[in-house]
Structure 1
Amino acid sequence: MVATTEITTADGIVRGHRGRRVLRWRSIPYAAPPVGELRFRAPQPVRPWSGVLDATKFTSAAMQHRAGARIGPRAYQPTSEDALTLNITAPALPARSPRPVLVFIHGGGYLIGTSALPLYSGTRLAERGDVVVVSLNYRLGTFGYVDFSEFGTPDRPFDSNLGLRDQVAALQWVRTNIAAFGGDPDNVTIFGESAGAHAVLSLMATPAAKGLFRRAISQSPPADWAITKEEAYAFARRCVAALGATPDTANAALCTAPANDIRRAVDHTLSQVGREQPGVFPACPVTDGEFLPRAPIDAILEGSAHRVPLIIGTNLEEGALFAKFAPGRLPTTPDRLRAALTRSGAAAESRIAAAYPGYPDAKAAILAGGDFVFWRPSLSIMEGHSRYAPTYAYRYDFAPRALSLAGLGATHATDLIPVFGVGNSPFGRALTAAGGRQGLRAVTDQFQDNWLAFARTGAPLPSWPAYTEARRSTLIIDSPTRMEHDPDQAKRLAWQDVRVPTFAG
């Protein structure tokens, strides 16, 4: 199977690139370009083409600030509204039987990022695991996660949850076409990190995604992100005002304004909200009662989400990355954390302060802020989903000495290095120049062996037991890796019943 890089899809022929050990196809369209009359509309089917589509190079990233599409030290991918594409990496050797498929959803706070980042190539996963790896772009920020549907008209309607709809469309494309690339359409695992991990949970709660994947992996999800339709409308009104439009002129402005003008207005509004309301992230999926009936965390807790096997975990020091490079994004200072806890009362803050030795010093506050956004809600997902489907919990503790010296430790996104197996790349070698190379090889084996076993069978290696509320078995991925039951129990109990802030308009 797959002896050539010219593949016939349902929409036309695509030509990829043959490497020494893998075959690659880049920027294959999975939906029509959402431009012109399709701006702010649900994704539409691909328009078939004649001839052969060159899929050897990346095209554009989704619309975002230029810095978010950085793909190298001095390299930036062009951005465009026309970016609904996906990439495929498959082993070069013909398959004896259809291969498991892993579909990766990149992170970036639903605001930035691109599937063209070299880290996400999937080459080492495909080669080592004899799997097909797919990565995708989806509409971000302004064009994917702001609900302007209130300003739609009968002649020019707008749809909600566009980024989430894009992800469903990409999975539908995979379902239809992946067999031609050697993949098994009945054995698809979705996995993602950060906002991509939240997207995984959102897809589990999306009725339209039913049957499009069999298992899910969620790495560092801000698991309780979601806003109501009313909150979404209030945020959209502020964005429209920042664009210089009124409710009466919003439809025309949103249809005709240059993409970057709308993006800048939304980015400005998001910055304002971040300063005013710590812990609030309004550019996220909307519980619109239709495409996403319930907030993902609520659907999972009540058992109405898709009951597929799930791996979920977080990193030990999630907040350090944000405290150093994006201090306004997370509540990683005592003042910002206190503001984020206003709905939970002074008693909650006292419990949390007692659970983090040294609080309110900077390091303890950073740890607490990262746990507030990522670990706290992930615990609820572990508990809730384990009642309905096999669930496996982990925590990533490993940090090469260079990261520890930089004050980052096992921070947000560092788990992607072993997952994608880039320890032997120039970046990986630089990261371990001060020590930790052998440890990184060991945790790479841990991640990839477990992820690949899960993709093949629906369960990780036998040494990793399922999570239950009785034992709370958690794989601590480190050098060496170990199993703990109910790790950091005092912190877990301190976060119980904490209520997240809601968008105040």
Structure 2
Amino acid sequence: MSTPALPSRRTLLTGAAAAVAVAATAGAPAAGAATRAATGAATRAASATGDGSRPLARTTAGLVAGTTEGRTAVFRGVPYAAPPVGPLRFASPRPPRPWRGVREATAFSSPSYQSVLPGSSEDSLYANIWTPDTAGSRPVLVYIHGGGWFLGAGSEEVYDGQRLADRGDLVVVTFNYRLGALGWGSHPELADPDTGHHANWGLQDQAALLHWVRANARAFGGDPDNITLAGTSAGGSSTWQLALLPELRPVVRRIVPISAAHVWAPAMALTPDDSVSAYERLAAALGTTVAGLRDADAARLKSAWEQLFAGRPEQRALGSGRAYRGPVVDGHWMRGYDHELPTPRVPVLSVHTATEGSFFTGPASPSPSPAPTNEEQLHAAVRACLLRGAPAVSDDLVARCVADYRSAALADRLPTDPLSLWTEVWGDSLFRRPVIRLAERHARTGTSPVYAAEFAHPVHAPHFGTPHEATSRFLFGTHRLPSQAPVFGDTDLERTVSDTFIDLVASFARTGVPSTGRSSALPAFAPGRPTALILGGPEVTRLSELPKQRQLRFWDESGWGPRM
């Protein structure tokens, strides 16, 4: 039997810049082509009241017709902003253009422009909505997909919202936002003439989507005053940053950051100066000015951006953005890195996986490299991890990291083989440590409750642990899909774990306090006490202190990475 690959890995937050090795899509997308086609379908004759066989919803831009799947009404490809093409490339999002008649909302839009998903397009700012009924006033759960800020789409099969909407009695919204050079950067010469903003267009898209959801929630049976924002990886990072924006405080009621890729430089973002340099280098490579990038061929622009961040981080022209290029500090959309700012003022349900790193070191890694099998190879692999967050790494720091992780593993009776140690270093450095430390800070200093959960349901061999992004399969109930079940399982146990996860998030969205049918309400997180929910495995749920705390001491004491 062949080794099953981790499904849909292209939508997940990938491991390093080398993951962008997929060849650039040939040719730039035709500006507005998807919109013209969809508008043509929308304006075909249709009754404003429908024919009784399909659900209708009246949005602020016009009437849309969806489909019914099981007990759920589904609306796909509903525009929440105007296509960011032509003069609107690098512009703040504009409202969608109104239409007459009924617009068909039965097919997903193109993914946002990227090198990974086929058929991607700059014309991609569309939402997908699953609802048990267009009447009523249910909690709304908006989910932001991950993908390292350069790939992914809300239309991926793992984010199908039918099961989550049905069991949770929620209105579930997924959507696309701008990616890569078109979505995450900053340069003053790209300032929008109307808003003055010149940065983080993907984050601006996400904020526009939230305003659109609030304005249109009632049309889909949702409560506009009860919107919970959830997301995984890069999407989990966005939930945190959006909750910090003053203009969104009336919109976002609570957040569920899952395996959040908290932003800091040089690992997870470009510095402002490096971002300016990046766009100037991009313009020079394309023979134009920075402002002229609005008219540049999209494929050439994307290819030049990916080339700028190809190869090992220590060999690149720019010193930051060494692992990912997330939001850039610009004084408005990002006032500072996550560890420099107060925590959000809304209730937080913080989730991480037990083995974040096994997504990157396992057999389906998006940036595969040989697993270390001896001490020399382990030191080289750990050095590569540390170089994502520092311009130089000494032999002593590498040796200390290995020694501290081995000592922690022995104390906790965990494996000490090179692959296991490398996996823990990988996951802790960029994900588990920032997630836990910021949850602890919120518990100490925040003005709202924070709840902590570790998702610990194991995947099937030869995959191992509970990888980064395993959570989305269980939150959406898509672990049971034929493409997913060989890795994530579809026994009664997996279905129970999935239902419990849905119940946990749905109760939090409904009341602000997470609970499940298997346990009483989860207590607010108190570091050092058994107040975290461990979800997964034969027990399904149990309360505990967060495991593997010894491992995190290295990062706190070594000076590597931000002070949390």
TM-score (norm. length: structure 1): 0.86
Q: Cα deviation per residue 1:122-164 (whole Å; 9 max; x = unaligned)?
A: 1001111211000111001111012233565979977201111
What amino acid is the match of 1:208?
E
| Counterpart residue number, 1:318 | 356
Partner of 1:447: 501
Mapped partners of 1:494, 1:463: distance in 2:
33
User: Deviations along 1:177-217, whole A, 9 cap, x unmatched?
Assistant: 11111000011111001111111111122223221111100
SS at match of 2:231: strand
How far residue 15 of structure 1 moved from its aligned partner, in angstroms, is 1.4
Structure 1 residues 151, 9: CA separation in 2 closer, same or farther (over 3 Å shift)?
closer
SS of residue in 1 equivalent to 2:271: helix
Who is 1:87 aligned against?
A: 128
Counterpart contact for 1:239–1:269, Cα < 8 Å: no
Query: Where do 1:5-84 residues align within 5 Å?
Result: 5-65=55-115, 67=116, 69=117, 76=118, 78-84=119-125
Structure 2 unaligned segments of length 5 or more: list them: 1-49, 372-378
Aligned residue number for residue 73 of structure 1: none
Contact 1:43 1:169 in 2 (8 A): yes
1:468 is displaced (CA, Å) by 1.6
Q: Which deviates more, 11-20 or 277-286?
A: 277-286
Equivalent position of 1:371 in the other structure: 428
Give me the whole-angstrom Cα distance separating, in 1, the residues matched to 2:98 and 2:303.
34
Deviates more, 1:441-450 or 1:188-197: 441-450
CA-CA distance at 1:470 after TM superposition: 4.7
Contact in 2 for aligned 1:334/1:360 (Cα 8 Å)? no
Q: 534, 538, 543: which is aligned to 1:483?
A: 543
**Relative to structure 2, which stretch is displaced further, 42-51 or 144-153?**
144-153
**Deviation, structure 1 residue 396:** 1.5
What amino acid is the match of 1:251? V
Residue 272 (structure 2) pairs with residue 232 (structure 1): yes
Tell me, yes or no, if structure 1 residue 201 matches structure 2 residue 240: yes
Task: Say whether the 8 Å CA contact 1:278–1:337 is kept in structure 2.
Answer: no
In 2 relative to 1, CA 31–122 (structure 1 residues): closer, same or farther, beyond 3 Å? Answer: same
Q: Is residue 2:328 matched to residue 1:286?
A: yes
Q: Distance in 1 between matches of 2:237 and 2:269?
A: 18
Q: Deviations over 1:222-259 (max 9, x none)?
A: 2234679982332442354255448x942254122111
| 8 Å CA contact retained: 2:93, 2:208 | yes
Inter-partner Cα distance in structure 2 for 1:279 and 1:252: 22
1:395 aligned partner, one-letter code: E
1:309 matched to 2:347? The reply is yes
Match of 2:453 in 1: 394
| Aligned partner (choices 470, 485, 507) of residue 414 of structure 1 | 470
Say which is worse superposed, 422-431 or 182-191, in terms of deviation: 422-431
Q: Deviations over 1:337-376 (max 9, x none)?
A: 3434658984663534533456681321122111111101
Structure 1 SS opposite 2:454: strand
* Secondary structure of the structure 1 residue equivalent to 2:532: strand
Write the distance in 2 (CA, Å) between the matches of 1:22 and 1:456: 19
The amino acid of 1:366's aligned partner reads T
Instruction: Tell me by how many angstroms 1:287 deviates.
Output: 1.6
Note closer, same or farther for the CA distance 1:140–1:332 as it changes in structure 2 (3 Å cut).
farther
- Following TM superposition, by how much is the alpha carbon of 1:450 offset from its aligned partner in structure 2, in angstroms? 0.6
Alignment of 1:167-178 (within 5 A): 167-178=206-217
Unaligned runs of at least 5 residues, structure 1:
70-75
The residue that corresponds to 2:11 in the other structure is: none
Rate the CA distance shift 1:499–1:280 in 2: closer, same or farther, 3 A: farther
Q: 1:499 to 1:284 in 2, by over 3 A?
A: farther
1: CA distance between counterparts of 2:294 and 2:125?
A: 19
Identify the residue that residue 271 of structure 1 maps to in structure 2: 310
Q: 1:106 to 1:229 in 2, by over 3 A?
A: closer
Aligned residue identity for 1:487: P
Amino acid at match of 2:554: A
Matched, 1:426 2:482: yes
From 491, 495, 520, the counterpart of 1:437: 491
Match of 1:362 among 419, 429, 450: 419
Q: CA deviation at 1:271?
A: 2.0
| CA distance, structure 1, for counterparts of residue 356 and residue 164 of structure 2 | 24
Query: Is the contact made by 1:225 and 1:285 (CA closer than 8 Å) also made in structure 2?
Result: no
The letter of the residue matching 2:327 is P
8 Å contact 1:151–1:250 — kept in the other structure? no
Identity of aligned residues (%): 32
Query: Following the alignment from structure 2 to structure 1, what is the Cα–Cα distance between the partners of residues 522 and 218?
Result: 31
**Structure 2 vs 1, CA of residues 313 and 14 (structure 1 numbering), >3 Å: closer, same or farther?**
same
The alignment partner of 2:75 has SS state of strand
Which region of structure 1 is more displaced relative to structure 2, 234-243 or 105-114?
234-243
CA RMSD of aligned residues (A): 3.2
Q: Provide the secondary structure at the position in 1 that maps to 2:263.
A: coil
* Bigger mean CA deviation after superposition, 445-454 or 484-493: 484-493
CA shift, 1:33, in A, is: 1.0
Question: Do the aligned partners of residues 279 and 149 (structure 1) sit closer, same or farther apart at CA in structure 2, a change above 3 Å counting?
Answer: closer
For this pair of structures, how many residues does the alignment match? Answer: 481
Change (3 A) 1:190 1:36: same
Residues 1:225 and 1:332: Cα distance change in structure 2 (over 3 Å): farther
